[in-house]
Chains A and B, each alone.
Chain A
């Protein structure tokens, strides 16, 4: 069975004309979790958004070994961010069915697409099956969050990008979510999570991000020294 391996080398990212990530290197493979740590504003979310293809990277390479050749990393991934992507006027079931039918599934590196849960199974797993016919606008913050998690269960994709996955969840749902993430890892998935809280997950690696300083830009600029000076001029302008 082929294994997936996400290799990230020297990734840098600029947002709003300012460098927020510099020289990020990591490797994470099937059945592994990578926990991205660091203080607020250090670029944890930016890193996940770069992997998700939502923000362009300034330098570096990001490659998925063993994945489907014609698909990007983003198309192998689920992104679970701060926004729930729910339409308040549609029912819980309509919201979930849409994503189930719309999203293109991706295989786990073994050439076949896995079975996924049905909408109702996913809602039951997360304990919100009683809300299925309610408009999503009536859900509480925690229930919205759980409905958002359900999206990851109904479409099989190997890489889960989780940005503060436990926010707004109570203790019990947090346990359920951690169980689901652990199941995903054990089933050969890849999990990359940005979090402040210690998550108890199997096969965990850690990536500690530290703030980008001017000094470190000098250190890492290397062959891109010209780019660096260009940016400097822009900043002054």
Chain B
């Protein structure tokens, strides 16, 4: 168990030390959310109706921003080869790296959501719902993104291709996330059904994401 803790701590520290870590993602999230009111115009009713979707898309883009370095940095300095040879389960290694990456960059996005919600005129109930759905759904974005990061690990400018690969896969997460966030009340079926689907997608990602990313990384040494 000790090796898992060591890996998590190292990945968390590196994610925070490289290029501002959490702050960069949150600032990008802020930038995306801020431009919407300028584009849509000062229509508070319209903004509050699409606010949850804006926040979800902002979080999706901010998550994608940092994912291309998830494995690429390790590949460039030779660490990836050693991770593969280490005798530890590569699937678990991927899962721990995703967990550390999410703790360093995804969680700050969730924490910033209530503040950014005010920019798009959400009421208190909606702020709670959108934050809750992001808390549950954002890990799924990271896990799906990890598959893209594994597949594009050997490409010099893999970041763009990563986004193109991952965005279609993120559509179900976005649909259930936004429909749960706009349901209006936390105890209604309108919220519960998509919310449980969102939970299921995250659990599905927890299993399939590390398996697929590890398979991609194993053949990347060629």
- Chain A residues with CB under 8 A of B13: 90
Q: Which residue of A lies closest to B88 (CB)?
A: A104
Asked whether, in the complex, the Cβ of B221 is within 8 Å of the Cβ of A75, the reply is no
Q: Does A55 belong to the interface (CB within 8 Å)?
A: yes
Q: Does A181 belong to the interface (CB within 8 Å)?
A: no
Q: State the majority secondary structure of interface residues on B.
A: helix
Q: Does B185 belong to the interface (CB within 8 Å)?
A: no
Q: Which residue of A lies closest to B74 (CB)?
A: A85
Within 8 A of A (CB), among B62-96: 76-79, 81-82, 84-88
Q: Does B35 belong to the interface (CB within 8 Å)?
A: no
Known: A85-B79, A87-B79. A102 touches B86 (CB 8 A): yes
Complex CA gap A102/B11 in Å reads 12
Interface residues on chain A, number (Cβ under 8 Å):
30
Stretch at the interface among A46-54, A125-133, A191-199: A46-54
Known: A56-B222, A81-B81, A85-B77. A104 touches B14 (CB 8 A): no
The residue from B17, B76, B81, B86 contacting A104, defined by CB atoms under 8 A apart: B86
CB contacts between A and B, total, < 8 Å: 73
Q: How far is the CB of A237 from chain B (nearest CB, A)?
A: 20
Known: A54-B81, A75-B85, A79-B82. A87 touches B14 (CB 8 A): yes
Name A residues whose Cβ lies closer than 8 Å to a Cβ of B. 15, 49, 52-56, 71, 74-75, 77, 79, 81-87, 89-90, 94, 97-99, 101-104, 106
Name B residues whose Cβ lies closer than 8 Å to a Cβ of A. 2-3, 6-7, 10, 13-14, 17-18, 76-79, 81-82, 84-88, 219, 221-222
Q: A56-B219, A94-B10, A101-B6 are in contact. List 17 more A-B contacts (CB 8 A).
A: A49-B221, A52-B85, A53-B85, A54-B84, A54-B221, A54-B222, A75-B87, A82-B78, A83-B77, A84-B77, A87-B79, A90-B10, A97-B6, A103-B86, A104-B3, A104-B87, A106-B87
